[in-house]
Amino acid sequence: HAMPPPNPIQCNATSCTLHNAYGVWGDRRDCGSSKLVYPTTEEELRLAVANANQNNLKIKVVTKFSHTIPKLACPSSEQPSKTVLISTEHYGSSIEIDKVKM
């Protein structure tokens, strides 16, 4: 039986680590973040992005089964306190983007 990959985000009491499909990044350094949010609605998602923007935080959106290989997926290895991971694991609907209004 095939097993789904483990969740790419692992957290402890102080921070979270984003893993890739291979378990390590090419530079062998963890991809950390001090903040993780699980928005469930479009409004919560917008608030999370607005908060990150207001506080000059780098954002990485991840899914439960998202396993990015290149280190470009990591918002910032140097300053985990300046990043936020936004997980769509509990998001309850699709996301529509209006390119004209962007």
* DSSP states of 14-36: S-EEE--TTSS-TT---EEES-E
Query: Which structural domain, as residue segments, surrounds residue 34?
Result: 9-78
95 lies in a domain?
no
How far apart CA 20 and CA 81 sit, in angstroms, is: 20
Considering only residues 25 and 81, tell me which one the structure prediction assigns the higher pLDDT.
81
In a domain, 71, yes or no: yes
pLDDT at 73: 72
Tokens 């499909």 belong to 21
Confidence check: pLDDT of 1 > 90: no
Residue 97 in any domain: the answer is no
What does residue 72 show for φ and ψ, rounded to 5 degrees? -60, -20
pLDDT tens digits, residue range 29-87? Answer: 788 898 999 999 989 999 999 999 999 999 988 887 766 666 677 777 678 889 999 99
Q: What is the pLDDT of residue 84?
A: 93
The domain total for the chain is 1
Cβ partners under 8 Å of residue 59, min gap 6: 49, 52, 75, 83, 84, 85, 86
Contact 26, 76 (CB under 8 A): no
Q: What is the pLDDT of residue 67?
A: 64
Q: Is the CB of residue 62 less than 8 Å from the CB of residue 5?
A: no
pLDDT score for 31: 85
